[in-house]
A and B are shown apart, each in its own frame.
Chain A
Amino acid sequence: MSSLIDFPILALLAITAVTIARMRDLWAAIMFTGIYSFLSASWMLILDAPDVAFTEAAVGAGIATVLMLSTLALTGKKDRELTHAPIMPFFLVLITGCVLVYGTLDMPHFGDPQAPIQLHPSPSFVEKSQHDMHGLPNVVTAILAGYRGYDTLGETTVVLTAGIAVMLILRKEKDESPKKRSKETRR
């Protein structure tokens, strides 16, 4: 039943990816990346990963579109025409794809109860979390608020540092009036 939705979504993903790769109009390519994000987020949702889909929809479809449009405002709307056939990158991508597919052969099947992720860390969390978290009865709360709290604190620090660095690089100078005026006449 789910293959009814799975296969069309995967086909649409492939079509969109090929379209993005072949497109010379960058403005339209950005719109297709939005479509791609929506599709891949739906695909993750069908694979039963709602939190990843949440992030993909927020970052991929929302923030990334705005960021790429800002980039487009700094550069230009058109890609340069190709002077030669891109044989070498094509083969590189092909080989990388083959290696990735080869890598999936070792992976456990989807929803396999014997997969390592079901066997190795989870039972120890269930056994030890009450002791580690000083008697917190709910295991999910212990993992989210206890173990992952440190993880998230570190991630937030990294993201904050990166954001500060980007703002320092991209900030507007005070004495930028001549450039600004030229931009207004361009409009």
Chain B
Amino acid sequence: MPRMVQNPTSLDAVETVQVDCDILIIGGGNAGCFSAVEAAKLDPSLKVVIMEKAHIMRSGACSAGMDAINTYIPEGKTPEDLVRWCRSQVGGGPIREDLALSNARELNESVDDLERWGLPILRDAEGKIRYRGAWDISIHGEQLKPIMAEKAIEAGARIYNRVACTQLLMDGGRCVGALGFGVRDGKFYVFNAKATINATGGAAGLYKSYTADATDSHHQIWMCPYCVGTGYAVGIRQGAEMTSMEQRWVATRTKDFCGPVDTISVGYKAPIINAKGERIMKQRYAHLGADKAPRYIRANAPMEEWLAGRGPTYCDTRGMEPELAKQMMTDYLNERPSFVLFLASRGQDPVKEPIEIYGSDPYIVGGHTQSGFWVDMERMTTIPGLFAAGETAGGNPNKFVGGCAAEGKLALRGAADYIKGLELPEPDAAQIEAEKARVFAPLLRGEGFDGLRALEMEERLQRLMDEYAGGTSQFYRTNEERLDYALKHLAMLREQTKYLAATDLHDLMSVHEVIDRIDVAEVLCHHLKFRKETRWQGWQTRADYPEVDPAYDCHVESRRNMATGEIETFTRPYEQLVPGDRYKP
């Protein structure tokens, strides 16, 4: 898409483009592409549009590729077994077992689709899929994103690349599409749809990463930094119910380069050790499953060592057969290629020297942990007409690639069913004009405006969240007083967004990204404040309530009161559907 040569000089100079369709998909990632393919299978006459902030061939979390599909049900195991494992990975829940089960029943077919479309899945000499853990299989997924995107295009979806979503289009309480702007062409886009599937990425950059102070390392983080939580923010602003936002994803990552560690510790069985050479998981977490302890325990364990003065911590790769080490490097090249470059820039051979590990900055993701929209079985949110899939849909952790793909299909089926007999209303002109003015205002402040840059506010937000809402520098701990402080200052940040000024369209995108991050951060802090216990160390640690409290064995929910603007929190009960010991896989 060609770039706009000059910034618009007035709001009137901004062209408005209206696109009518049956189903709008916000975000052409994993879930979004699968939704588009499913639409063509279900009813080729459906008019499907994908609104994508980047270019769908290499966008978002999958842009660098993937080295594994973390959930594929092997022969002899059932979807119920997968749900039991999923539940145990989050300390026995509470999770939405109804959602988890329906995804589990679909996900193998989605992975098989990927293979049919050209994704190499590694197999042994007998042609059997090679597992590297109980549920995860190795792939050569460098081309994963282009493969998915090609199929979405082939399915006939109309793709609008480089259009950033800023708001939902509403018709009373019902969602009838979305609004946004072209980050290259500077146009204002009105997508008018009978149903909308929110399939954006999760939220990165709410917290400061510990390498952010180093020049050129602001985005040395694990989750795609261009996924900022817009999908959540647009729903939060319309009063959608959000679930489990306090269950943050924190992962053990390679230190100074936020690369995946499960690849080494689980896939290549390199044990986690501390500075004294002690096998941490075996020595301190044997009662929780040692090296197979739930993910949040494994994420938190190295940080506890640092805090106790026993850091650095490592994955002990020493003595690994060189051929195996090369295979491990190949895995990295499939997913985070520059980690191989990072090791080379340290002159490090992992066979001789262990790989240092540390905790990541926290993320809000519905594909790994369970933060996101409260959805029904059709994946409709509490806003009629708005569906959610993948990272945005909450309640169902450990979806990963296969589960997000499956959910994209389920959401599409839900949306297709919902639109039967529905007419497309004429979009509300006043709403469109108001949003257009809000979106472009930071670009039209005029010369001499004494304002703020997006980067300044982003860094203020990230430091605030890091220090007061349980970031890496605080070893993920927070308490009531710190959260109150964070909420007070988040309100001040929101008030100050009127001073944000943009220099060009790229910068305008950054301005709206920081506004979205503030809205997600506020909800996150309310959730952390509500859960007065520590249920998932690292993911959710309350220094003032260090134990699990049975009173909070429930889903924590929130929604914006549209009359007062306040975030209100409440609970929903946990329902165990799959029998068995909740705490065991």
A binds B: no
Task: Give B residues with C-beta under 8 Å from A.
Answer: none
Task: Give A residues with C-beta under 8 Å from B.
Answer: none
